[in-house]
Each structure stands twice: as C-alpha cells, then as structure tokens.
C-alpha cells in the first residue's frame, strides 16, 4: 500500500529545536503516516532522541510546525486523551519503585482500565519476563529494564509508538524477540512506529521507510529498499556503506 494513501499522523515543517541557542533539530519537511514503521538512523548526537521527544510532546519546538493526529493539532495543544495515544520507550528507560508487574500496569492504572493485571501478565509472558513479574523492578539488569519498559509502553495500546534504541542492551535472541513483538503489535493494532536505531541491519529488517538524520537535519527519507539500495543523497550512501561522514 502506498504511504501517501494513509492518513497523516505527524506533519513536520521547518521544525527547529534549540538548546542554549544551538539548533539540535532542524527539519525542513516530513510526514509520518498511519501504520508505517519509520526508522530514524544516524550517528550519535544526530538529534534522533530530541526528535522523538518532540514527537512525544515532551518538548516544545523552538519554531516551526509540528502537527499531530487526525485533526492535525499543533503538538503543544493536544489534549491529554490524544497525548495518551502516544507512548515512548526511552534509550535509557527508568522504572518506578515496585514490582516489575506494577510497572507494566502503571499506564493502565493511569487510564483506569480494568483487568490491568491480566494484560500486564500477558505482555510479560510474551516478552519472557513472566518469572520475574513479582521481582522489585529496581533490581533488574539493563536488558531486563529495556524489556519491561517495552511491555509498559505496549500495555497502553498506543496508536503511535516511539522507540529510542529499544534493543541497545539486548543479546541477539532478545533483539529478535523485541522486533517480533513490535511488528506483531504493529500489524494487530495498525500502529504507527517511529524507531530510532544505530543498527542498519535492524532498520532493513523492520522499516517501511528509513530517514537519515545528520547534525539535526533530515538528509533523506525513502522506502527501505530505496534507502539502502539506491539512495538519492551521497551522504546516505556513505552512511549506509559505513564510511565516516560525521
């Protein structure tokens, strides 16, 4: 299905985010459409995490347009009910005090959803964390924290899932598990996923489209096959071929 046929979830135009006077994100134009998996690739410090935070309505743009949802409201004006359609998994997830299961239930409790325990248990089992459900969350390893945080984000059935290096601390078997769980969720719910990763192989496996960020600027956005096989921009080609361009 062509990307352009789907409703637009995010519309970005002349978006700029500055910290202490320095622009860390400067994007001329891009749209994210419903149901796609858009991978953000780029070197460390390229602005991927900041862009995700902007998309999650956790940061306000310094200038420019960032609209969200079917009604295409400016991101700063979206009401809580719409913000609750978005969930983000952070690069360094932090868990709350309490058990692993309580952490996964957290978003459901915020929404006063009944039978939250069943749902949390189901997700924990899917991510092979059932055995540690009653363990204190603050005793987990980095990889386990990342898996619990993914379960916590998926538990609230987000229409938009923002993933910031969700497999950074995982072994290959768990990387495969996460990719499978996320793709299965995306197919089942029709969710839109923006996935930041350093791993180009991962981007090849999971993305419908891929975007290259360099120094906060969007260099190229293309369908995955085009991005990797016949990129339009020489910087994309250099990045894909592993050449140092930053």
Residues that bind another protein (CB under 8 A): 53, 56, 58, 80, 83-84, 86-88, 90, 92-94, 96-97, 106-107, 110-111, 149, 152-153, 156, 162
Closer Cβ to another protein, 4 or 81, answer by number: 81
Q: How far is the CB of 57 from another protein (least distance, A)?
A: 8
Q: How far is the CB of 204 from another protein (least distance, A)?
A: 27
Q: Give the C-alpha separation, 136 to 98, whole Å.
A: 6
Q: Give the C-alpha separation, 50 to 148, whole Å.
A: 23
Burial class (CB in 10 A: 0-12, 13-18, 19+), 213: buried
Closest CA to 108 of 96, 100, 120: 120
Closest CA to 107 of 95, 215, 184: 95
Q: How far is the CB of 209 from another protein (least distance, A)?
A: 23
Closer Cβ to another protein, 89 or 210, answer by number: 89
Q: How far is the CB of 52 from another protein (least distance, A)?
A: 10
Cβ 33 vs Cβ 159: under 8 Å: no
- Phi and psi at 183, nearest 5°, equal -65, -40
Q: Which pair of structure tokens corresponds to residue 96?
A: 């709350």
Q: Give the C-alpha separation, 100 to 194, whole Å.
A: 25
Closer Cβ to another protein, 80 or 244, answer by number: 80
Q: How far is the CB of 189 from another protein (least distance, A)?
A: 16
Closer Cβ to another protein, 122 or 235, answer by number: 122
Closer Cβ to another protein, 39 or 162, answer by number: 162
Q: Give the C-alpha separation, 191 to 187, whole Å.
A: 7
Closer Cβ to another protein, 146 or 236, answer by number: 146
- The strand pair at 63-68 and 217-223 is best described as unpaired
Q: How far is the CB of 239 from another protein (least distance, A)?
A: 28
């Amino acid at each position: 299905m062509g990307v352009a046929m789907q409703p637009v979830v995010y519309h970005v135009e002349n978006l700029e985010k500055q910290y202490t006077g320095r622009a860390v994100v400067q994007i001329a134009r891009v749209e994210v459409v419903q149901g796609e998996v858009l991978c953000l690739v780029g070197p460390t410090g390229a602005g991927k995490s900041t862009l995700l935070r902007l998309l999650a309505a956790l940061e306000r743009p310094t200038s420019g347009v960032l609209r969200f949802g079917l009604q295409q409201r400016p991101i700063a004006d979206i009401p809580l009910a719409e913000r609750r359609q978005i969930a983000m998994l952070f690069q360094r997830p932090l868990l709350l005090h309490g058990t692993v299961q309580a952490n996964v239930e957290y978003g459901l409790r915020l929404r006063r959803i009944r039978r939250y325990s069943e749902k949390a248990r189901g997700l924990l089992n899917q991510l092979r964390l059932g055995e540690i459900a009653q363990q204190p969350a603050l005793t987990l390893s980095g990889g386990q924290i990342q898996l619990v945080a993914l379960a916590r984000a998926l538990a609230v059935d987000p229409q938009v899932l923002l993933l910031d290096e969700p497999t950074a601390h995982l072994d290959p078997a768990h990387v495969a598990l996460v990719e499978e769980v996320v793709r299965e969720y995306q197919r089942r719910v029709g969710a839109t996923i923006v996935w930041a990763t350093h791993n180009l192989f991962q981007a090849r496996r999971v993305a419908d489209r891929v975007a290259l960020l360099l120094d906060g600027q969007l260099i190229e956005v293309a369908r995955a096959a085009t991005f990797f096989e016949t990129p339009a921009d020489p910087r994309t080609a250099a990045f894909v071929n592993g050449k140092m361009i930053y």
